[in-house]
Amino acid sequence: MKKYLFVFKNKYILAISIFLVYNLFLDEVDIFTIINQNKKLSGLRSAQSEMALKLKETKYVLSQIKDLSYLEKLAREEKMFKKDDEDIFVITYK
């Protein structure tokens, strides 16, 4: 026990240890806040990359819509549009 108290009798070691404890655990930006914010940042970066892929896909579809045959294909297959004299049958596989 005296061995440990001898270390804290040195004023420099005592000041550094108090400084480290305060900065790591008691400060507003402690180690737990930094870890939590890094997790949120990585989640936002992955969401950003997913949105970039969706944006690229949407831009491609918008560039293809200028062609009327592609527009009709898109409307029929994805939006389930039909002509007045047509019936649509949707077949799903389980």
Q: Which two tokens stand for residue 79?
A: 């939006």
User: In this structure, is residue 92 part of a structural domain?
Assistant: no
Give the chain's domain count. 1
> Residue 1's pLDDT band (boundaries 50, 70, 90)?
low
* Residue pair 36/44 in contact by the 8 Å Cβ criterion: no
> Residue 70's pLDDT band (boundaries 50, 70, 90)?
confident
Provide the percentage of residues in the chain whose pLDDT is more than 70: 96
User: In this structure, is residue 72 part of a structural domain?
Assistant: yes
Which domain covers residue 21, as residue numbers?
2-77
How far is 47 from 52, CA to CA, in rounded Å? 9
* Residue pair 65/71 in contact by the 8 Å Cβ criterion: yes
